Amino acid sequence: MSYKTFTYSMKEGVKNIWRNRMYSLASIGTITASLFLFGILFFIVANFQSVIKSAESSVGITVFFEEGIRQARIDEIGKELAQREEVKSIEFVSGEETWQKYKEEYLSEELVESFGDDNPLADSDSYTVYLHDVESQTSLVEFAQNLEGVRKVNYSESIAKAFSNINSIIAMVSVAIIVILVSVSIFLINSSVTMGVAARKEEISIMKLLGATDKFISGPFVIEGLLVGIIGSVIPLSILYLVYDNLLTYITSKYTSVFNIFSFVDISDIFAFLGPIILIIGIGIGFLGSFITVRRQIRQVEVS
């Protein structure tokens, strides 16, 4: 596309928005509303997944050793586990620590005194291994069970499945909502462009008689769709930024205890990802909605 053609398309694209301002405003409003709802959904999903990740990181497997194992071998097992990419952190728990915790949580003072200096859990040294992702638990368990000197590996398969199911449900619901919102936006842009082509039917026929190509004729309509998409992206991004920033500030000042339970995603982290996504979706909706529609409509214009 030459500079003159691009300039012409830009000017006509802006004029088209004004000519069909009611449909353009409806398209912008729909894209804005759709992307705003998408942003709210993104906030919820991102923070919910952050909570899930925090919960996942607290789920660990416990590796117990065979009786009579040397301390040197225990250290080697710890190094082998720590080198695995699934492992977030590893903690050695001695039999003495286990016994002390057990006494505090489950035994009365009389029972504790009855044991005296004896430690029935003296041979229960273990490693507690925490993972980056609980879904990788199976592979780590299989690896740990095959290590020389390992007697038993305790883990919860049901918890891993529960987290996996939750993540799958979140993904499916998110995709379904996004598809619905995008479809509605494309439908309205389709209506706007269709009205624009219908209003300029005679003009387009004359342009085709004078030898104008379909690309030249469709340029202004595509620019119109792109501008609608850009405007419809910038507005919700600005609103979402203010909403999320004020929400975090309010919760931080009023409900400090909430931050001790839930770890909200930082605004810079969330918008570093959300910003480009919304712009791409908005521009993509505007381009596809106008490009597909204008090509179909122009072909229907008869040259008289």
Least Cα distance to 43 among 280, 282, 246 occurs for 246
Domain CATH code at residue 148: 3.30.70.3040
Shared domain for 83 and 131, answered yes or no, is yes
Cα dist from 119 to 63, 64, 69, 154, whole Å = 20, 17, 18, 21
Mean pLDDT of 193-218: 68
Shared domain for 128 and 196, answered yes or no, is no
User: Which contiguous run of DSSP H or E holds residue 87?
Assistant: strand 87-93
Q: Which distant-in-sequence residues (6+ apart) come within 8 Å of 137 by Cβ? A: 59, 61, 86, 131, 155, 157, 160
Residue 161 lies in a domain: no
Residue 217 has pLDDT above 90, yes or no: no
Domain hosting 87: range is: 60-155
User: Which contiguous run of DSSP H or E holds residue 126?
Assistant: strand 126-131
Percentage of the chain with pLDDT > 90? 3
Shared domain for 215 and 71, answered yes or no, is no
Interval 265-293: pLDDT, tens? 888 888 888 889 888 888 887 787 777 77
Shared domain for 43 and 65, answered yes or no, is no
Shared domain for 198 and 289, answered yes or no, is yes
> Can you give the pLDDT at residue 165?
74
Shared domain for 174 and 90, answered yes or no, is no
Shared domain for 223 and 102, answered yes or no, is no
> Can you give the pLDDT at residue 237?
92
Residue 239 has pLDDT above 90, yes or no: yes
Q: Any idea what the Cα angle at residue 273 is, between residues 271 and 276, rounded to 5°?
A: 90
Shared domain for 125 and 12, answered yes or no, is no
> Can you give the pLDDT at residue 262?
61
Name 91's bridge partners: 128
Shared domain for 131 and 271, answered yes or no, is no
Distance CA 202, CA 64 (A): 83
**DSSP helix, strand, coil percent of the chain (3-state; round to 5):** 75, 10, 15
Confidence of residue 125 (pLDDT cuts 50, 70, 90): confident
Q: Which distant-in-sequence residues (6+ apart) come within 8 Å of 275 by Cβ? A: 237
From its phi and psi, is residue 166 left (phi > 0), alpha (psi between -120 and 50) or beta?
alpha
Tell me how long the chain is: 304
Interval 1-44: pLDDT, tens? 566 766 767 777 777 777 767 777 777 887 888 888 888 888 88
Among residues 116, 132, 155, the one where a domain terminates is 155
Residue 160 lies in a domain: no
Shared domain for 37 and 179, answered yes or no, is yes
Mean pLDDT of 131-145: 82
Among residues 115, 133, 155, the one where a domain terminates is 155
Confidence of residue 247 (pLDDT cuts 50, 70, 90): confident
Confidence of residue 304 (pLDDT cuts 50, 70, 90): very low
Q: Higher model confidence: residue 113 or residue 148?
A: 148
Interval 63-75: pLDDT, tens? 888 887 888 888 8
Percentage of the chain with pLDDT > 70? 70
Compute the mean pLDDT over every residue in the chain, rounded to the nearest whole number: 76
Q: Answer yes or no: are the C-beta atoms of 300 and 214 closer than 8 Å.
A: no
Claim: this prediction has a pTM higher than 0.75: no
Q: Answer yes or no: are the C-beta atoms of 201 and 301 closer than 8 Å.
A: yes
Mean pLDDT of 216-230: 80
> Can you give the pLDDT at residue 238?
92
Residue 117 has pLDDT above 90, yes or no: no
Q: How big is the chain by its Cα radius of gyration, in Å?
A: 31
Shared domain for 171 and 50, answered yes or no, is yes
Shared domain for 249 and 276, answered yes or no, is yes
**Quick one: CA torsion of 284, 290, 291, 296, rounded to 10 degrees?**
150
Residue 266 lies in a domain: yes
Mean pLDDT of 206-235: 79
Distance CA 161, CA 159 (A): 5
Mean pLDDT of 67-96: 85
Residue 93 has pLDDT above 60, yes or no: yes
Distance CA 113, CA 242 (A): 61
Residue 303 has pLDDT above 50, yes or no: no
Cα dist from 239 to 33, 36, 108, 150, 282, whole Å = 11, 8, 58, 56, 15
The number of domains in the chain is 2
Mean pLDDT of 185-211: 66
